[in-house]
Amino acid sequence: MNQPQDAATRRAVKPVICYPPETLPEPDLSLYAAARETAEKIDEVLVAPREAASIKVPAGHFLKMSSVEGSQVGDLNLFNLHDLSERFYSGKTRALHGTHVTTGDRLWSSFPTLRPMATVTTDTLDWYGIDEFGGSVHDVIGTRCDPYTGKVLSGTDYHHCCHSNLTRALADARKLPLEESERHVHDVLNVFMCTGFTRDTGQYFMKASPVRPGDYLELFAEIDLLAVLSACPGGDCSSEHTSDVAACHPLLMEVFRPGDGTLGNWSQPAVNGYDRSHGR
Ligand SMILES: [Zn+2]
């Protein structure tokens, strides 16, 4: 391989953080924690293994996603309840918060609204950090397992991929034809999934999730949300997905409403304030 003479010098340039988090609006986690203390459960749905289910989460409420029965990964889509075109933007969330999210990070919506849809308020796996392989939990780097990639890689037709599960669950929730529902399904937050990039080849990897029954990830809904969660056919994602081979378990979604007045002067974030009058 031909290298320029100054290759080492060019590589030695120090990186800078693209979006320093200091300039992001800070969530008031202590306010959320106080509101959660008195919150009451108002709804729940059990997501069957290798299927998806949806639940409405009003602004100012909490969505708790729990592992029950066994180690299981979930693929989450989030929509503005009133406008499916405003949806979770995993790429921008990654650019702002890093490859994996945990307590205090926000889940951002697509353009042109680009605002926090939800804030992570509790993550019982926050102790995991980044392991010796570069792996961590709750990634925003994977897309979602889907039948099309399975077809390309192994020639299979498998219908319980997260993409397909999310498509069916959204179609059920909104009474949409499957073809239309599919167009709204987007790259996910990989709840409980343990992933990273190999250090030597930069390839996307997964490994058995450290999640155990009782673990949960809890979000505060900053706007009215429709949450759709798929219990991935990969189970704990220790070996494979896009098949019926892995042991799979359900996931529980629960919604909690804070007591009156406990959210102080919290108000839902406005749509992005960028002034488009001088061009895009
Ligand atoms: Zn999946």
Question: Mean pLDDT, consecutive 10-residue segments, the chain of 280 residues?
Answer: 93 93 89 96 97 98 97 97 98 96 97 97 97 97 93 90 97 98 98 96 95 98 98 89 84 97 93 84
**Does residue 132 lie within any of the structural domains?**
yes
**Does residue 34 lie within any of the structural domains?**
no
**Does residue 158 lie within any of the structural domains?**
yes
Full-prediction pTM beyond 0.85?
yes
Ligand 1 centroid – CA 166 distance (Å): 10
Ligand 1 centroid – CA 145 distance (Å): 4
pLDDT for the residue 280: 62
> Are 55 and 221 contacting, i.e. CB atoms less than 8 angstroms apart?
no
Q: Residue length, the chain?
A: 280
Ligand 1 centroid – CA 249 distance (Å): 13
Scanning the structure block, which residue is given the tokens 């077809």? 151
Q: Which domain does 58 fall in, by range?
A: 43-260
**Does residue 270 lie within any of the structural domains?**
no
**Does residue 4 lie within any of the structural domains?**
no
pLDDT for the residue 25: 84
Ligand 1 centroid – CA 244 distance (Å): 12
Ligand 1 centroid – CA 233 distance (Å): 6
**Does residue 267 lie within any of the structural domains?**
no
Distance CA 116, CA 88 (A): 9
- Cis omega (within 30 of 0) on the bond before 112? yes
Ligand 1 centroid – CA 190 distance (Å): 8
Separation of first and last alpha carbons in the chain: 42
pLDDT for the residue 23: 83
Ligand 1 centroid – CA 237 distance (Å): 8
**Does residue 24 lie within any of the structural domains?**
no
Nearest to 159 by CA among 247, 46, 51, 48: 51
Ligand 1 centroid – CA 76 distance (Å): 10
pLDDT for the residue 197: 96
Domains: count for the chain: 1
Ligand 1 centroid – CA 279 distance (Å): 39
**Does residue 273 lie within any of the structural domains?**
no
